[in-house]
Amino acid sequence: MSLSFAIIGCGNISKRHAEQIHAVGKLVAVCDIIRSKAEELGRKYYAEIFSSIEELFANKKGIDVAVICTPNGLHVSHSIIALKAGCHVLCEKPMAINSADCMLMISEAKRAGKHLFVVKQNRFNPAVVAVKKLLDEKKLGNIYSIQLNCFWHRDAKYYENSWKGTMALDGGTLYTQFSHFIDLLYWMFGDVKQVKAFKKNFAHKNIVEFEDTGVVILELENGIIGTINYTVNSFKKNMEGSLAIFGERGTVKIGGQYLNELEYYQVQDHVIPSLPPGNKANEYGFYQGSMSNHDKVYQNLVEVIQNNAVMAASSHDGLKTVQIIEKIDAAAENLW
């Protein structure tokens, strides 16, 4: 039976969701407080149009999945409203902007007996899948250290007349730009034990309420040490999203602009076959995001709901990403 979906929040990323919903089910409702945005998306997919989530659920019944594409700081309230209305929920990243809100969402999903999915599309990048398999099969032996680099471009125009850049609705650079990268660190290597960090706002003073650049040193629970270097000050365009891994039997680097290429590979007695091409980055006009793997997110969602498959990224994974960012924020010395 085909699933019915509603999209809450009709900004840029909602278009990607609508395309994939059209491939696996039916988009029956959309809502946005800026009604023109809801109208544009709703008319394209013949979905009913609403101006608020409360109006939607007061008037539209029988929705199987609510897709939360609203600003980060609203994920918790909108997810809980949808769960209380009897929907499964697919929440865009980050799950929320503090761990207490994540736990409220998890508790409500459990109470409602519904699935709470979190979008973690970088897990499906071909190079990431191949390296995760190497790690699972212990092909690199003991892992010594890792280096995660996130060098993107976000100028003043990106934050103009937007919720982005505010602590209340955005949460910070690690939440909005780089939470997918933090997720991969947790997914591949486990939890973080201790952190030292420095953060500074160089180029976005009076534009954002947090840092635009950070340097982080990590020790993981399993003894691996690592660094995270991140910035949104790459000149004119995204430069790099990369992860280098140094192990006793191999060194690999996933690179490209958004962890989309296997840039370096030297592993004892092992060769990775040719990788399938990955999807292109999400395009938002004057800037780019991560690789667009929402098709795989939706394929997994349907399999979980209809056939009890294993969830590709759980709400617990979403919580762990937020907890690691909180550890970084708590440890950071703000240099401004």
Q: What is the CATH number of the domain that holds 148?
A: 3.30.360.10
Q: How confident is the model at residue 334 (pLDDT cuts 50, 70, 90)?
A: confident
Residues 266, 170 within the same domain: yes
Residue 295 lies in a domain: no
Q: Nearest Cα to 131, choosing from 117, 119, 148, 118?
A: 148
Task: Say if residues 259 and 181 touch (Cβ distance below 8 Å).
Answer: yes
Same domain, 26 and 61: yes
Q: What's the pLDDT band for 292 if we cut at 50, 70, 90?
A: confident
Residue 293 lies in a domain: no
pLDDT in tens, 161-207: 999 999 999 999 999 999 999 999 999 999 999 999 999 999 999 99
Domain extent at residue 62 = 3-118
Tell me: do 38 and 144 sit in the same domain: no
* CATH number, residue 82: 3.40.50.720
Partner residues linked to 194 by β-bridges? 219
Answer yes or no: is 303 within a domain: no
pLDDT in tens, 224-258: 999 999 999 999 999 999 999 999 999 999 999 88
Average pLDDT, stretch 14-33?
97
With 0-12 / 13-18 / 19 or more C-beta atoms within 10 angstroms meaning exposed / middle / buried, residue 50 is buried
Residue 302 forms part of a structural domain: no
Q: Could you tell me if 20 and 69 lie in one domain?
A: yes
pTM attached to this predicted model: 0.95
Are 113 and 194 found together in one domain? no
Which of 73, 95, 118 is the last residue in one of the domains? 118
Q: Exposure of 111 by Cβ count < 10 A (0-12 exposed, 13-18 middle, 19+ buried)?
A: exposed
- pLDDT for position 283: 57
Q: Show the tokens assigned to 331.
A: 């440890």
Question: What tokens does 7 get?
Answer: 């999209």
Task: Evaluate whether residue 304 is within a structural domain.
Answer: no
Contact 94, 321 (CB under 8 A): yes
Residue 333 β-bridge partners: 198
CB 195 within 8 A of CB 215: no
In a domain, 245, yes or no: yes
Does residue 308 sit within a domain? no
110 and 208 housed in the same domain: no
How many structural domains does the chain have? 2
Per-residue pLDDT of 38-76, as tens digits, reads: 999 999 999 999 999 999 999 999 999 999 999 999 999
Q: What is the pLDDT of residues 90-136, one digit of tens each?
A: 999 999 999 999 999 999 999 999 999 999 999 999 999 999 999 99
